[in-house]
Amino acid sequence: VHSPFVIGSSIFGILFWDVIYQTKVPKVFLCPYQSLPLDLTSGEFYTNRESQTKTRIAQIKELWSECEMYDHVRKTWSKEEGKKSIVSWKIFQNLDQFECKFIQVKEPNSHLTPSQKTWLLHLNLAGGDAFACCVNRVHSPFVIGSSIFGILFWDVIYQTKVPKVFLCPYQSLPLDLTSGEFYTNRESQTKTRIAQIKELWSECEMYDHVRKTWSKEEGKKSIVSWKIFQN
């Protein structure tokens, strides 16, 4: 199951790759660990690239033929495929099947809205494969694991003083998080926390650490997906 955001952001990334990654905007790419410009989720993203964005929108809406659009996508794909970026390359892994399904996912006791029913109807009338699917709430193991890691290691991640890993107010993660340098930069603090979890803390002390972190940091944009613990 692919989320609508992932599909939309990936299509956006392929169509606007040069606008996102090749437009020269000061201080939005500061580190080799980055996969996104630091202003991506702010209003400044458009402001900083207004001319290039307007040009690309005009090309998509009016100027490009279908063949030119395809050629742009093909060239971007062949040159950039696999790079860590806004594009989730794996969602296109079955392109050889030439299939596209539109699935409206619903939780138990959730019902289709009139607009959702209309969309499903029109997509099917247009020849698409569109349907609703009811699933139980399941959270990605990665999201659960990273959230538990975030709560237990919050101070190690966010309060250890490491140069040039928090450079901008847009950031929710240190820039070295997905690199081998994350551990190297915090080796002493990480070893201490692991020892506390494995040997030194009692169950009550562990609970107290989690409770204090939660009460102080809950809701902050971070590695923790707070909503998965809402029930």
Residues in Cβ contact with 224 at an 8 Å cutoff, skipping those fewer than 6 apart: 146, 147, 150, 151, 154, 217
Question: Which structure tokens are listed for 15?
Answer: 């169509």
Residues in Cβ contact with 201 at an 8 Å cutoff, skipping those fewer than 6 apart: 209
Express each pLDDT in 109-162 by its tens digit: 788 999 999 989 998 998 889 999 887 665 566 788 899 999 999 999 999 999
Give the pLDDT score at 22.
94
pLDDT at position 188 over 90: yes
| pLDDT tier for residue 12 given thresholds of 50, 70 and 90 | very high
Instruction: Tell me if 4 sits within 8 A of 12, measured CB to CB.
Output: no
| pLDDT tier for residue 31 given thresholds of 50, 70 and 90 | confident
Give the pLDDT score at 156.
96
* Mean pLDDT estimate for the chain: 88
Instruction: Compute the distance between CA of residue 125 and CA of residue 132 in angstroms, rounded to an integer.
Output: 15
Instruction: Tell me if 72 sits within 8 A of 15, measured CB to CB.
Output: yes
Express each pLDDT in 192-214 by its tens digit: 999 999 999 999 999 999 999 99
Instruction: Tell me if 27 sits within 8 A of 168, measured CB to CB.
Output: yes
Question: Which structure tokens are listed for 218?
Answer: 């809950």
Instruction: Compute the distance between CA of residue 135 and CA of residue 107 in angstroms, rounded to an integer.
Output: 5
pLDDT at position 163 over 60: yes
**pTM for the structure as a whole:** 0.52
Give the pLDDT score at 48.
95
Express each pLDDT in 45-98 by its tens digit: 999 999 999 999 999 999 999 999 999 999 999 999 999 899 988 877 666 666
Instruction: Compute the distance between CA of residue 37 and CA of residue 21 in angstroms, rounded to an integer.
Output: 7
Domains in the chain: boundaries = 4-93, 100-138, 141-229
